[in-house]
Amino acid sequence: MQRPHAPVAYNALKTAWKCLVQDVGGVEAVAACTRVNLTLVSQYGNVYGDRFAPIDVVMDAETVGGTPLVTAALARAQGYLLVPVAPRGAGDLSVKLAEIGRDVAALFATAASALGRAEPTDAERDALVRELDEVARVATETRMLLFARPGAGADDRRVPRP
């Protein structure tokens, strides 16, 4: 059976793993904070090998490393964007909705300036991406706030389906 993704997608996961290992502090540090040994930590980053880090190992390493590099690469391979959100319950709904309005207005202002010419500059494209990322972040935080159940504990990590 042929795999559903191009080799470049799998290599991106390997590269993300290698970057994560560096962020955590090296192979020894990853082995110390996960359930796998030094050899396996190294094998997961080998682009010529067929082993990938298990999801629990990725979760542990990303928690220690501080950035979800492998998770973000996996999301990109599936056509998603990983967006950081504030903890549920962190904010007032009306404030979040006002933030969305402000961010959408900023996006429209940037777009109007950039699209006033035939072709936006690289700097304008970068500004549009930043504005879109901010809209996505605040919208996702608002969605999580709406999803939050009164009295839910910090360990209640139910995530609404996309």
Q: What is the pLDDT along the chain (162 residues), one digit of tens a residue?
A: 899 999 999 999 999 999 999 999 999 999 999 999 999 999 999 999 999 999 999 999 999 999 999 999 999 999 988 877 766 555 688 888 898 899 899 889 888 888 887 788 899 889 888 888 888 888 888 888 877 666 555 445 555 555
Tell me what pLDDT residue 146 has.
78
Tell me what pLDDT residue 66 has.
95
Q: In angstroms, rounded to a whole number, what is the distance separating the alpha carbons of residues 77 and 147?
A: 26
For 125, residues 6+ apart whose C-beta sits below 8 A from its C-beta are 114
Tell me what pLDDT residue 101 has.
92
DSSP, residue by residue, 33-67:
HSSS-HHHHHHHT-TTS-----HHHHHHHHHHHSS
